[in-house]
Copies of this chain bind each other. A is one copy, B any other.
Amino acid sequence: MYSNVRIVMMYTSHPGNIGAVARAMKNMGLGELCLVSPKSFPDIVAERRAAGAKDILADAKVVETFDEALEGCVAVVGASARGRKIPWPVMNPRDCAKKVREFALLPKTGSDQENQNKVAIVFGREDRGLTNDELQRCNYHVHIPTNPDYGSLNVAMALQVVAYELRMDYLLYSGLGDATQAAPTLSPENDGWDEALATSDEVEGLIGHLEAVMIKTEFFDPENPRQLIPRLRRLFQRSRMDKIEVNIMRGFLNTVLKAIKDKC
C-alpha cells in the first residue's frame, strides 16, 4: 500500500467518527492518522468503534494547529463539498488516488526516505467541513460525487471512499500478487476456479444423454422437436460447465433411467 499518506482530521466533535476512521484506514491498509484539536481523545467511544484498529488510534498524533498537521508534507488534498467561492483544482476520489500514486513514485533521496513525498488528505468538521481558509491551504480538493439533493456525507464514510480508491489504485497499478484481490470476475474460465473446465465434447455427451432420457420419459418427441435440443445446448454450452458439474448431471440421468427400468 502507498506509505506516503497521512490522514488528517480537523476539530472532530464525535469520537465515534475518529474510531470509524481508524477502522476504515486499517481495512484499506493505511496507517498514519493525525488529529487536529479533537474534542475528546483518547475516548472509549473511539476505541469501541475502531474495533480491531486500536493500534491506529494508539499511534495517532494529536496536534493543535493545521500547520503542525501538515509538517513535512509535499502536497495537501482537502475533502470538499461543492460550491466554494473560488474554484480550485478539484479531483474525484479516483483521480485523487492517482495523484497520490504519482507522489509515491517520485524518487527518494537522503536518510529519512520513509517520510518523503508525503501527501496529507484532510477531512473537516462534521457539521461544516473545511473552512475556506483551510481549503485555500490545499493544493487540491477531492470531491465525492454525491446526490445533488443530499450531499451531506458522514466524515468517516468520506474517508472510506477515498481510502478505498487508494487501495484499488494500488492493487490495480502494482500488479503484484496482491492485485488478484481486485481481479476480474471469477468464473470457470479464469484461474482460481476449483474444478477443470469440461471440454466441449463432454458437454455434448451430457446433452446427448439428456436427450435420450427425455425421449425415454416422453418429454421430448423427436417427431416434433420444436427448438428443445438447441435450447438445451445453448443453456449448457453457455454455462461453461466444469467437469464435476457434467459428472453430477450424468450421474443423475443414470439414476433416472435405472429408476424407470427398476419399476418395469
A interface, CB within 8 angstroms of B: 1, 20, 23-24, 26-29, 51-53, 86-95, 140, 143-148, 150-154, 156-157, 160-161, 164, 167-168, 171, 178, 181-187, 192-194, 213-214, 216-220, 228, 231-232, 235, 238-239, 241, 244-245, 248, 251-252, 255-256, 258-260, 263-264
Contacts and interface: CB of A to CB of B under 8 A. Distances in A.
Nearest to A158: B160
Nearest to A218: B255
A117 to B, nearest CB: 19
Contacts of A187: 89, 238
A219 B251 contact: yes
A182 B94 CA distance: 9
Contacts of A194: 86-87
B147 A29 contact: yes
A179 to B, nearest CB: 9
Given A87-B192, A160-B161, A252-B219, A26 B147 contact: yes
A120 B260 CA distance: 41
Contacts of A244: 231
A27 B152 contact: yes
Those 10 A-B pairs whose CB atoms lie nearest each other, nearest first = A263-B263, A145-B181, A219-B255, A217-B255, A239-B239, A29-B147, A217-B259, A90-B186, A26-B150, A145-B182
Contacts of A248: 228, 231-232
A39 to B, nearest CB: 18
25 contacts: A20-B157, A27-B151, A28-B146, A29-B146, A29-B147, A53-B150, A87-B186, A87-B192, A91-B184, A92-B168, A92-B181, A95-B185, A140-B185, A156-B157, A157-B160, A160-B160, A213-B256, A214-B252, A214-B255, A217-B252, A218-B259, A256-B260, A260-B260, A263-B263, A263-B264
